[in-house]
Amino acid sequence: MLKPTINQSCSLNNLPPLHKPFVHGDATNNSSSSAYSPTILRQNTSTKKCNATPARSTSAVGNIKAVVIPFLTKATTVKGVITIQPTIRSALSGVIIGDVADGVSDLLGRSFLLELVSEDLDSKGNQKTVKAYARYKALDFDINVYTYECNFNIPDDFGEIGAVMVENEYSKKMFFKDIVLDNGVTFTCESWVQSKYDVQAKRIFFTNKSYLPSETPEALKSLRAEDLESLRGNGEGQRKSQDRIYDYDVYNDLGAPDLSISLSRPVLGGEQHPYPRRCRTGRPMSTKDPLSETRTILPFYIPCDEDFSEIKTAQFGARTLYSVLHAVIPILKSVLSGRDKFPLFTHIDLLFNEGVNVPPVEGGIASALPRLVKGVETAKAVIKFETPETLDRDKFSWFRDEEFCRQMLAGLNPCSIQLVTEWPLMSNLDPEIYGPPESAITKEIVQQEIGGCMTFDEALAQKKLFMLDYHDLLLPYVNKVRQLEGTTLYGSRTLLFLTSSGTLRPVAIELTRPPSDGKPQWKQVYTPTWDATGAWLWKLAKAHVLSHDSAYHQLVSHWLRSHCVTEPYIIATNRHLSQMHPINRLLVPHFRYTMQINALARLALINAGGIIESTFAPGKYCMQLCSDAYDQLWRFDHEALPADLISRGLAVEDPTAPHGVKLAIEDYPFANDGLLIFDAIKQWAASYVNYYYPQANLVESDEELQAWWNDIRTVGHGDKKDEPWWPELKTQDDLIRIVSTIMWVSSGHHSAVNFGQYDFAGYFPNRPTIARTKMPDEDPTDEDWQTFLKRPEDVLLSCFPSQIQATQVMSVLDVLSSHSPDEEYIGANIEPAWEAEPAIKAAFEEFQGRLNQLEGIIDLRNSDPLLKNRSGAGLVPYQLLKPYSEHGVTGKGVPNSISI
C-alpha cells in the first residue's frame, strides 16, 4: 500500500536525534572553530559554468588564498544561528538515518561550514571572506525546527556582509530556512542544501537586501552570475533529484507508448500543437516513439527547491493529491468495476449518506484524507463523501434554469461567458468540412423567448444577449470523440438574456454534429418549454452543455490559464533573475508549490489514460483540445482581469468607474470581487516597482529583467513569440502591468476556478464532466425514442458519468478544493526581504489592509438582497475571492500561489 510520502526516493531522515544529547565540539575554541578560520582573500575569478549542480560556489580550496592576520588586527565576534526545517519522518520519529560520518561531524562541531563574503573587495581586487563551522544546538519544540550555531571573528575593516557560502558536512541534504547573524544581517534561504558528498560546490545565499544588477556591489557580481549560471543547465543529461536545474522542454511525456501504442499521444509544443513549455527532466526517449519521453512510476523530476513534500504536513496539497491518485482511485476502480450508471438518483445520494465500502486502507492514507476515508476497521473502510454546499443548501438547485445561468457569473467557470456582438451567429470553420456555418438559433426563436421584455433588435443593441460558445472549439473533435467508447460530443452554443433584475435567463441551446459517414450536418435548437417531452429534451441539452463547460473549465480556465502558463514564468525567473533581484523576490511567493503540483498532474491527471481522459467528454483528445485553445484563444495581454473582461465584451474601459472599467452585467460576482483583488495587487506592484525603478531607463537597462521577459516570450511561450500583442518592457508601467498579470493569474484567477470545485461539482448532476449518450432526437430508432418517452429519467442517468467516473472525479475535486493547514494566503505574511526595506514594508502593510477590508465588503455584498446573483434562498454565497480561509474545503480563500 502507498506510503503517504510523495517522493520516497528523496525522503531523508537526516537530523539529529530528539531523544539523546549530542557531544559538541566548541566552535570557538578548537580547530573546528572560526578561530582557525582567519579572513580569507578569494581571487575574483571569472564565473565558471556548473550545469549539473545546484547554485553553489565553484571555487576549489586550492583557489582560495589564506592571508595571515596581523596580531594586532581588531576583530568582532559575530554569532550566527542556522535554522533547519526537519523532514516529516525525522520530526515524527526523532531518529536519525545516516552514517557514522554524521555522528562524527556533530561530535567535532562540524555540521556545516559557512563562509561569509564581504560586499567590498580588498585593495588588490580580491574577495574578503570569513569562515566558521556550525554545530548543532537544539530543537525548538514550539516551532519544530533545529538550530545550529557558529561564531565568526570578523575584522573591523571587513565591510558589509553580502553573501554566505554553505557546505553541508552531513551525508544527507538539509532544508535551510534562514541564517541569522546577531549584527542584524539575515539570509533567508528556504532551500535544500545537498551533502558535500553529493555536490561538492558550496551553496550561495545572499542577504535580504535586494539589488538591481547595475547596483550589485563589486565583490558580489561574480557570485551573482555564478549562482544564476548554475540554475540554467545546458539542456543535456537526465536530471537527478538533488539538481536545481531549471530548463525547458515540450510536453512529450503525457503518452506511454512503451506500455501500449494506444497510449501514444502527440507532443504538445511546436508548430503542429502549440503549447507552453514545461520543466525539462531529460528522461530517456521511448523505444516505440522517438518523439516521446519515457515515464516513471515515481513523481517526475522537479528542481529540488520546488519539492516541499518532505517538510510539509501530512495534509499538504501535493501529498494528499498523490494519495488520492495512487491509493483511493485504484480502490474505487476495483470496487466499482462492472457497474455502469447510477440506477436511481437516490443511489447518488448514498455516496454522501452511506459511502462506498472498500477494503481496509493503510492508516497513513486515512490520516492524509480524513474527509474521504472514514470508519477504518480491520475488515473494511468506507470512502464517504461530504455533502457539497450546493446540495446541502438546495437539493434541487441543479435542476433549475436560473441556477444554470447564475453559475456562469458566480460559479466554477465564470470566465467563459461572452457578449453577443454580431448577428447571425456564424462559425469560422471550413463549411466544406463542417457544414453550413450559420447558427440555427434564429432571430425569430430569440424574439419568441424574450418577446415580453423587448424586441430582438433592442436586446442586441442594448447588450442584453450573452453566450457560451463552444461550437468552433469542439466541432472538429466531434467525429473523433464519437469513435471512442462510452462518450459523445457536440459543438454547442448557449444563448442567454439579461433581465431587468440583473439575472440571466436561458434563451436557447444549439447542439451541432458535423457531416460524417455520408450523413449531413445535424443541428438542433432547444428552448425552455412547457410540455413534458420538450422539458426533458431541454434538461438533456443542458447536461451536454454542462459537460462541455466542465471540460473547458478543467482544461482551459483551470489547467491552461493558471497551472500550465505559469510554469514558464517560474523557469524564466529562476534562470534569469538573481535571488537578490527585487522582481524575483516579488514573484517567488506566487510560484511556490506550483511546479510540484504540475508534475503530479503530468504523472496521473492529464496523462494518457489518466483521470482527465477517463472522465471528461473529449477523452483521449483532452490535451490536444487544450493545445487548440492555447493556439486560438490565449493571449498574455488578456490575462489581467480587466483586459479579460473587456476581451469578452463583459466590460468597457471607463476612467470614471471605480476600477477603470464599466461592467456589462453589474451584478457579476466574479468580476465585482476580482476587480477589488486585482486593483490591490496592481497598487502593491506599482509601489514596489517604482521604489526599485525610480527612472524608466533602469527598466530597459536591467539585463536580468530583459533576459527574463525575453525568455518568457521566446522560449517558455515560444510558439507565440511572433504575436504582436506581447507587451513591451521599457517603462515602470510596462513592468507593473506584466507582474500584476502574473500575480493575478497565480492567485485570484486560480482561486476563482479551483477552490469551488467540490461545492459546485461534487454533486455531479450539477456539473457532469461527460455526456455519454447522444440526444434522444438525433437520428433515433423507434426503440430508443420509446425508451426515452417511457423513462426519461433513465436516459438522463445513462447520459451522466458512470459510477466509477463520478466517484473518481469527486475524490479528486475534494482534494483540489481543499486548503492545507499551512496555506499561504495573499497578503497574509510579509516576506523577510520586504520587511528589510521600510518603504516596501509600508507598501505591503497598505496592501494587507486593503485585502482585510475586502473580507467585509464581500460579506456585505452576499447579504444584499438586491444582488440576486449572490444572495437568495438556497444560494451558495460567492466567497471564492475572499482572501482568507480556514483549512479544508471552505469555498473561499486566495493563496499566493497555485498550491494545489
Residue numbers annotated as active site: 558, 563, 750, 754, 900
Q: Strands (DSSP E) along 262-404, which ranges?
A: 278-279, 356-358, 373-374, 381-383
Closest by CA position to 59, among listed 44, 39, 74? 44
3-state DSSP of 172-235: CCEEEEEEEECCCCEEEEEEEECECCCCCCEEEEECCCCCCHHHCCHHHHHHHHHHHHHHHCCC
Task: Report CA-CA distances (Å) from 524 to 508, 520, 737.
Answer: 10, 13, 44
CA distance 464 to 419: 8
Q: Which amino acid is at 168?
A: N
Residue 801 corresponds to which cell in the numbers above? 458519468
Closest by CA position to 862, among listed 851, 849, 876, 874? 876
CA distance 304 to 845: 32
Residue with the three cell numbers 493545445: 627
Residue with the three cell numbers 495512487: 326
For residues 699 and 730, the answer to whether their CB atoms sit within 8 Å is yes
CA distance 550 to 492: 13
Task: Report CA-CA distances (Å) from 181 to 26, 29, 161, 197, 236.
Answer: 18, 19, 10, 27, 39
Local structure of 859: helix, strand or coil: helix
CA dihedral (164, 170, 171, 176) positive or negative: negative
Strand pairing class (145-155; 186-193): unpaired
Q: Which amino acid is at 16?
A: P
CA distance 826 to 898: 11
For residues 884 and 823, the answer to whether their CB atoms sit within 8 Å is no
Query: Does the N-terminal peptide bond of residue 290 adopt cis geometry, omega within 30 degrees of 0?
Result: no
CA distance 833 to 586: 9
